[in-house]
A = this chain, B = another copy of it.
Amino acid sequence: MSESRHKKPVLYSYFRSSCSWRVRTCLNWKGIDYEIKPVNLLKEEQEVPTLEIDGLVLTQSIAIIEYLEETHKENPLLPEDPGERALVRSIVQAIASDTQPVTNLRVIKYAGEDHKEEWAKHWMSVMFKGIEDQLARVAGDYCVGNKVTLADVCLVPQVFNAQRVNVDMTQFPTIQAIADRLLELEAFKRAHPYRQIDCPADLKEN
Where the two chains meet, the residues of A that have a C-beta atom closer than 8 Å to any C-beta of B are 54, 56, 58-64, 66-67, 70-71, 82-83, 85-87, 89-90, 92-94, 96-98, 100-102, 107, 110-111, 122-123
Q: Is the CB of B94 within 8 A of A97?
A: no
Q: How many copies does the complex hold?
A: 2
Residues on B with C-beta less than 8 A from A107 are 102, 123
A-B pairs with lowest CB-CB distance, top 6: A63-B89, A60-B90, A63-B90, A67-B86, A60-B93, A97-B97
- Given A60-B97, A63-B90, 7 more A-B residue pairs with CB atoms under 8 Å apart are A58-B83, A59-B90, A61-B93, A62-B93, A63-B86, A67-B83, A67-B89
Which residues of chain B are near A60, meaning CB under 8 Å?
A: 89-90, 93-94, 97
Which B residues lie within 8 Å of A110 (CB)? 122-123
